[in-house]
Amino acid sequence: MKIALNKQTDHSLPEQIFQSISDRILSGLMIEGEKLPSVRKLAEQLEVSLVTVQKSYELLEKKQLIERRQGKGSYVRRSEQKTVETNPYNWQNMIEDFLPRAQTWMEMKSFSREYKYNLSLANLSHDLLPVYELTDMITKVIRDEPMILTKYSPGPGDQILREVVSEYLVDEGLVVPADKIVITSGAQQGLELIAKTFLGEGDVVFVEAPTYIGIIDILKSRGVTIKTVPTNEEGMNLNILLQMCEQFSPKFIYTNPTFQNPTGTILSEKKRRRLVDIAQAFNVIIMEDDPWGELRFEGSIKSMKSMDENGHVIYLKSFSKTISPGFRVGCIIADGKILNKLKASKSVSDLGSPLLNQRIIARFIQSFNFGQHFKKMNALLLLRRNLLIETLNDLQIEGLKWTVPSGGPVMWITFPTQVNTEHLLIDALKQELSFLPSAMCYPNEPEVNHLRISYGNLSLNTYKESLKLFKEVVKNHMESLNPFTEDTPLF
Ligand SMILES: Cc1ncc(COP(=O)(O)O)c(C=O)c1O
Residue 491: the pLDDT is 47
Measured CA to CA, the distance from residue 280 to residue 290 in angstroms comes to 20
Name the domain boundary from 335, 367, 399: 367
Both 235 and 315 in one domain: the answer is yes
* Same-domain pairing of 64 and 121: no
Q: How far is the CA of 223 from the centre of ligand 1 (A)?
A: 22
Together in a domain, 171 and 82: no
List the domain range (segments joined by +) for residue 406: 102-126+371-478
> Are 321 and 224 members of one domain?
yes
* Pair (58, 191) in one structural domain: no
In a domain, 5, yes or no: no
Q: Would you say residue 487 lies in a domain?
A: no
Rounded CA separation 381/379 (Å): 5
Tell me the best of 267, 289, 454 to mutate to test the pocket of ligand 1, counting ligand atoms within 8 Å of each CB and taking the most.
Answer: 289
Pairs from 74-79 (Cβ < 8 Å, separation ≥ 24): 74/35, 74/36, 75/33, 75/34, 75/35, 75/36, 76/25, 76/30, 76/31, 76/32, 76/33, 76/34, 76/36, 77/32, 78/32, 79/32
CATH of the domain at 44: 1.10.10.10
**In contact, 206 and 366? CB cutoff 8 Å:** no
Residue-wise pLDDT tens digits, 299-352:
889 999 999 999 999 999 999 999 999 999 999 999 999 999 999 999 999 999
User: What stretch of H or E contains 69?
Assistant: strand 66-69
Domain CATH code at residue 411? 3.90.1150.10
- Asked whether residue 335 is assigned to any structural domain, the reply reads yes
Q: Rounded to an integer, what distance in angstroms lies between the CA atom of residue 324 and that of residue 131?
A: 8
Domain count for the chain, please give it.
Answer: 3
275 located within any domain: yes
Same domain, 86 and 116: no
Task: Give distance in angstroms: CA of 50 to centre of ligand 1.
Answer: 48
Residues with CB under 6 A from ligand 1: 122, 186-188, 212, 214, 256, 261, 289, 291, 318, 320, 325, 330
Within 8 A by CB and 6+ apart from 173, the residues are: 300, 302, 303, 306
Locate the DSSP E strands across 235-368: 235-236, 252-255, 285-290, 313-318, 330-333
Whether residue 252 is found in the same domain as residue 327:
yes
Say whether both 106 and 200 belong to one domain: no
Co-location of 411 and 351 in the same domain: no
Residues 64 and 85 in one domain: yes
Instruction: Give the per-residue pLDDT at 112.
Output: 59
CATH number at residue 246: 3.40.640.10
pLDDT along the chain (491 residues), means of 10: 76 86 86 92 90 91 91 85 65 75 71 80 93 95 95 97 97 95 98 97 97 95 96 94 97 98 96 97 98 94 96 97 96 97 96 97 96 95 98 96 96 96 92 93 94 95 97 95 60 47
Same domain for 342 and 383, yes or no, is no
Q: What is the pLDDT of residue 49?
A: 87
- Asked if residue 394 belongs to a domain, the reply is yes
